[in-house]
Amino acid sequence: MKIHLIRTENVDFSLLQEVVELLSHFNGSMTYHLSLHDLSFKYNHCVYQSLESLSDLHAKRVMSYSLNDEKESRSKYSLSIPSFPLRRKRKEDMNDLFINHKLYRNLYDVGDNELVILLTDIANPLNWFSYGDCNNNAYIYTDEWEYYIASERKYPLAYQVVSNVLQLLMFDNDKEMMSKVHHKSVGCINDFCEDKREIEMKMKMTDICLKCQEILRLKNVNPSIISQSIETMFGIRSKMLSVEMFKSSRRDSRVAFCEKGNPVLMDLDNNKVKLTPLERTLYHFFIRNQEGVKQIQLADYKDELKSLYLEFSGQANLANITNSINMLIDVQENSFQEKLSKIRRKFQDVLGDDGGYKKYVIIKYEDERYAIKIDRSLISEYNFCV
């Protein structure tokens, strides 16, 4: 079964790539397709909603109406503890969320039995994490996960992809779904999570309860799809828990480098920090220069930086390589600081914001030197020589 993942314009293409890469680690009947084109759709006429408290953020509406009938009644919000302001953009009509699915299906002649799942930063009027219609389409909201799951966004988003696939196969319409989901959470993929904070328990339990297993059997869902889905969800859970256990242990992780030069945190289930070629160039430069280098001294290392960038970029155009390095070492430009900030953010995404990431990133010392603090004994055999 082919599953297409698409995005709206404000969702980073790299995030979509990470989700597809994570899902593709688990083999089976399901295959995940990411367009080779930098495909993005625009949403017009979004409204901006001001969330004044955590009550507004965590609130979850129970859907009791059809997508095509906005006149039927809706239930009230279920509220939690207030305290947090937030501004989000959303659509007023659930039907609007599926316009892009139709455009994509027509544009690429996608078969009716293939699934199309949209990742978007546009919220929905029901305040749901995700939603599937009865036409093999699903919607997943990409923002605000940091309030529910202490991990990189790719993990809950990948989990949502798998759970939506199963739900599309289990239920013929929204009314059937709402009659079968668990309104009291039991740790099953079909927990409704009316209080959105319950999503953490749902993901950590990674269960399909006996009643839901029976639904899958009665709907004749391919056992291979079920097996692959379970393996994927357990794999996601394992990676998330390994990060949590690492954080609680407060130990330092060993670091290796993949063949492309990206740092791999070996004691975090080999979690890879994906850097761009120029970010890798800078990171490896400071790994090699353990004592540190001042920014104003980078020009003295121009040849070394060019050699590293040539290896990591794969470019044959020496003029482009030279221009990028010139920008990097020019103290009047922002390139150096921008790369430091992006590297820091990527390690924070993996290790969290509690300060543990600082040992692995390039930091500035009081004497103006920049260096990576990590104990070099934690770095596995270094094979990148230029």
Mean per-residue pLDDT pooled into runs of 10, the chain (386 residues) = 91 90 94 69 55 57 39 30 50 78 90 95 88 92 85 92 96 91 93 88 89 96 96 89 65 88 88 93 95 96 95 85 95 94 89 79 94 88 60
Output the CA–CA distances (angstroms, integers) from residue 363 to 252, 271, 293, 340, in the order listed.
Answer: 17, 22, 11, 8
Domain membership flag for residue 385? no
Residues in the chain: 386
Output the CA–CA distances (angstroms, integers) from residue 92 to 6, 48, 89, 134, 204, in the order listed.
Answer: 21, 10, 10, 20, 32
Question: Of 197, 216, 247, which residue sits at a domain end?
Answer: 247
Number of domains the chain is built from: 2
Q: Are residues 207 and 267 in the same domain?
A: no
**Segments forming the whole domain that contains residue 231:** 2-247
> CATH number for the domain including 75?
3.40.390
Residue 150 is predicted with a pLDDT of 76
Question: Of 197, 222, 247, which residue sits at a domain end?
Answer: 247
Q: Are residues 214 and 363 in the same domain?
A: no
Q: Are residues 117 and 259 in the same domain?
A: no
Residue 249 is predicted with a pLDDT of 60
Q: Are residues 169 and 282 in the same domain?
A: no
List, as one string, the DSSP characters of 214-273.
Answer: HHHHHTT--HHHHHHHHHHHHHHHHHHHHHHHHHHHTPPPPEEE-TT--EEETTTTTEE-
Q: Are residues 239 and 274 in the same domain?
A: no
Domain membership flag for residue 329? yes
Q: Are residues 200 and 89 in the same domain?
A: yes
Residue 386 is predicted with a pLDDT of 53
What whole-number distance in Å separates Cα of residue 145 and Cα of residue 234? Answer: 19
Instruction: Please check whether residue 23 is in contact with residue 162, taking contact to mean a CB–CB distance below 8 angstroms.
Output: yes
Question: Of 199, 222, 247, which residue sits at a domain end?
Answer: 247
Strand 362-364: give its sheet, edge to edge. 293-294, 369-372, 362-364
Q: Are residues 93 and 109 in the same domain?
A: yes
Output the CA–CA distances (angstroms, integers) from residue 51 to 14, 58, 60, in the order listed.
Answer: 28, 10, 13
Look at residue 380 and give its three-state secondary structure: coil
Q: Which residue, 278, 324, 308, 299, is CA-closest to 385?
A: 308
Residue 251 is predicted with a pLDDT of 73
Domain membership flag for residue 8? yes
